[in-house]
Structure 1
Amino acid sequence: MSERTLIILKPDTVTRGLLGKVISRFEEKGLKLVGCKMIELNNEVLEKHYDHLKDKPFFPSIVSYMTSSPVLVQAWEGVEAVDVVRLMIGVTNSRQAQPGTVRGDFAMSIGRNIVHASEDIDAAKVELERFFDQNELYSYTRADEDKIYEDDEK
C-alpha cells in the first residue's frame, strides 16, 4: 500500500551542497517526490516538531542548528515509504550508521546528521500536515512505475 512520509534535508545538507546527492537516492530507489519546498524554520515550529526533546539540555543546540540555514522539506510516496526511507537514512548516530545509508555515507555526528524522516505512519501524517498545505502535495504517475512495482503492489 502506498504511503507518504516527510523528509527534511537539514542545514548541513543545504550548506554542504548535498541536496542533489541525497534526493537522487530516494528517486533512484523508486520513491516519488510529491511535495518539496525550501523554508526557514522558527522556534514555534521546532518546539512542535521536536516536542519529545524540548526538555532535554541539548534542545537549544537543536534550535540553533535547525535555524542556521534554510532546510528542504519534502513529501515522498511509495509502497511502505516510511520504513523504506528509515532504512535508507540509517541510525541517528551517523558514526554508527551503515555504509550505503544516507547518514553512513555523508555524516559523522548525532546532531548534524543530514536528514530527518518520519519515524512511523502516524508521525508522517502529523508532520506532513505541519509542513505542507494540502494544495502543496501532488499526485501523478511516474513513467517507470510499472517497472518499480508488481501490479498487486500498486
Structure 2
Amino acid sequence: MKKQKRQEIIRELIRNNKIDTQEELSQRLLKVGVSTTQATLSRDIRELGIIKNRYDDGNFYALFEYDEVLDNPNFISANMDLVEVFSAYILSVSRAAFIIIVHTGLGEADLLANAIDGANKQEVLGTIAGADTLLITCRDEASAEKFEREMNDARTANRS
C-alpha cells in the first residue's frame, strides 16, 4: 500500500476512534487490511503531526492531530510556546551534571518530551520519558544549567 493511502487511513482511524496506544492503532490498521511495521507507524505519526494527549474526562489517552486540539487549553498544541508547556506540566526540576531530571504529573512526561524534542533546542541532545519522569541529556554542564534555569523560571512564574 502506498504511504499516502496508509496515512489517510490512519487519519480516519484517529478521527473516528479513541485510540490509546500505537499498538492499538496498529491492530486497527490490521483489521482494515493495512500491515505496517512499528518504525513505519511511528514515522507516519510524526509526519502527520499526531500527538498523544490526555482526555478531560479521565486518564484515557488518545492520538490527536494538532489542528483538532488548538482551541483546547488542556492540550499541548503545535503553536504553544515552550514556556507555556513548562509552566503547565513541570512539577519539579533538578540537575546532575549535564542531565536534567524533570517530574510531571502521571502520564505527562512524554508530552513534555515531545514538546522539547520538537523545539529543537541546541543545548538538548535528547530526551527519555517515563510515566512521570523525564531525563534530558544536554551537550554540557553549562547548557544543562541554562536549560534547567529556563524550565524553573517558567514553572515558578506561573505559580506566583
* TM-score (norm. length: structure 1): 0.30
Structure with larger Rg? 2
| Larger relative contact order, structure 1 or 2 (CA cutoff 8 Å, min sep 6) | 1
